[in-house]
Amino acid sequence: MKSTKAFAPATVANVSCGFDILGFAIDQMGDTVTLSEREKPGLEVLSIKGDGGKLPYESHKNTCSVAIQAMLDELGVNPGIEIRLEKGLPLGSGMGSSAASAVAALVAANELLGNPFQKNDLLPFAIAAEKAACGAGHADNVGPSLLGGFVLIRDYHPLDIIKLPVPDGLHCVLLHPHYELNTSDSRSVLRDQIPLKHATIQSGNVAGLIAGLFQADFQLISRSLRDVIAEPYRAVLIPGFYEVREAIKSAGAMGMGISGSGPTLFALCEGNEKISDIIEAAQQVYRSIGLEVDAYHSAINTRGAYIL
Ligand SMILES: Nc1ncnc2c1ncn2[C@@H]1O[C@H](COP(=O)(O)OP(=O)(O)O)[C@@H](O)[C@H]1O
Ligand SMILES: N[C@@H](CCOP(=O)(O)O)C(=O)O
């Protein structure tokens, strides 16, 4: 019986100004999914490692099986597949944990079934899994996890995804405080309507960030890392948010925002020389408010998900 294995990376969604429309992938951290064919039809999650026993095994709840089922429904087939998941990402962290599982599962399933889909065409199935995980079918984690690099979702209906350039020397720091914040909870604090002046500010910054990526203009990227739509409401769920931002900008970061829906914070940096100062500055603030934090740094992952 055939078996396949795939890896999908962690991601930073929103990138401050691009709520639900921008994200990028991170090196090293991610989820691994192994699939094996079996005689009995249907999907079964057989083992999950690295989740502290917290994730669901039910096929309609785990993002691995939800994503694969959406793909099988599109193909109109019902093979027997066993799923083994190794979580390499903390849960409810804002690093696209639910997305990495779905994407790794889809890449492995596509290979198992003889590659009936192009990589891009797997996205709607991953979006269906995100909808099951947090109630919203956002693509700003699954897009970059699948494709790598910076990804823009210009539209959802129909899906229009654009890969953006990654300037050489752009690095990222992630600060993950030790608590969980579910995406559904941090979406529930957002407003349905925004003032026109905020729409103007946000559009300017999205356009500026994209222009900055195309022109490899680090100062333009830095000026554009501003969010007036989600961050003001979410920052209150993240102790030390403004103090950490102040400290790490003084230490040389280009800018900082909430990674996805938090509580992880991301910072972008030009080169990697200032990274240890930036991490130390952030850790001092977290220590002063009694929060433990894991710090990671990474170049931008341009590869996305792949078969192992
Ligand atoms: N394979 C999976 N990995 C992570 N979360 C999953 C998975 N399958 C289902 N979930 C559910 O998704 C929710 C976490 O997703 P989310 O809040 O979006 O976290 P993250 O920001 O880390 O992606 C939890 O309710 C969890 O039970
Ligand atoms: N655009 C979404 C991104 C959620 O990312 P996650 O990593 O926290 O799941 C949002 O801001 O809600």
Taking CA atoms only, the protein residue closest to ligand 1 atom 24 is 133
Q: Kindly state if the Cβ of 92 falls inside 6 Å of ligand 2.
A: no
Q: Kindly state if the Cβ of 304 falls inside 6 Å of ligand 1.
A: no
User: Amino acid identity, residue 44?
Assistant: E
Written as one string, the DSSP assignment of the chain is: --EEEEEEEEEEESTTT-TTTEEEEEEEEEEEEEEEEESS-EEEEEEEESSTT-S--STTTSHHHHHHHHHHHHHT---EEEEEEE--S-TTSSS-HHHHHHHHHHHHHHHHTT--S-GGGGHHHHHHHHHHHHSS---TTHHHHHH-SEEEEEEETTEEEEEE---TTEEEEEEEESS---HHHHHHTS-S---HHHHHHHHHHHHHHHHHHHHT-HHHHHHH---SSSHHHHGGGSTTHHHHHHHHHHTT-SEEEESTTSSSEEEEEESSTTHHHHHHHHHHHHHHTT--EEEEEEEBP-S-SEE-
pLDDT digits (tens, 9 = 90+) for 184-240: 999 999 999 999 999 999 999 999 999 999 999 999 999 999 999 999 999 999 999
Report whether pLDDT(273) > 90: yes
Ligand 2 centroid to Cα of residue 13, in Å, is: 6
Residue range 92-112: mean pLDDT, rounded: 97
Asked whether the ipTM of the predicted complex exceeds the cut of 0.95, the reply is yes
Report whether pLDDT(1) > 90: no
Ligand 1 centroid to Cα of residue 123, in Å, is: 17
Q: Residue 121: what pLDDT?
A: 97
Taking CA atoms only, the protein residue closest to ligand 1 atom 18 is 183
Q: Residue 244: what pLDDT?
A: 97
CATH 3.30.230.10 assigned to 170-299:
no
Residue range 13-18: mean pLDDT, rounded: 98
Ligand with minimal distance to 14 CA: 2
Q: Which of 59, 69, 98 to mutate to test the pocket of ligand 1 (most atoms within 8 A of CB)?
A: 98
Report whether pLDDT(160) > 90: yes
Domain boundaries, the chain: 3-165, 170-299
Q: Residue 28: what pLDDT?
A: 81
Q: Is 114 exposed, middle or buried (0-12, 13-18, 19+ CB in 10 A)?
A: exposed
pTM: 0.97
Give the chain's mean pLDDT: 96
Q: Any known ligand binding at 188?
A: no
Q: Kindly state if the Cβ of 13 falls inside 6 Å of ligand 2.
A: yes
Taking CA atoms only, the protein residue closest to ligand 2 atom 1 is 20
pLDDT digits (tens, 9 = 90+) for 19-30: 999 999 999 899
Report whether pLDDT(301) > 90: yes
Ligand 1 centroid to Cα of residue 272, in Å, is: 31
CATH level 3 topology of 3-165: Ribosomal Protein S5; domain 2 (3.30.230)
Smallest CA-to-CA distance from 11 within 1, 2, 207, 22 is with 22
Residue range 137-145: mean pLDDT, rounded: 97
- Which ligand 1 atom sits closest to the C-alpha of 96? 23
Q: Kindly state if the Cβ of 264 falls inside 6 Å of ligand 2.
A: no
Report whether pLDDT(138) > 90: yes
Ligand 1 centroid to Cα of residue 74, in Å, is: 23
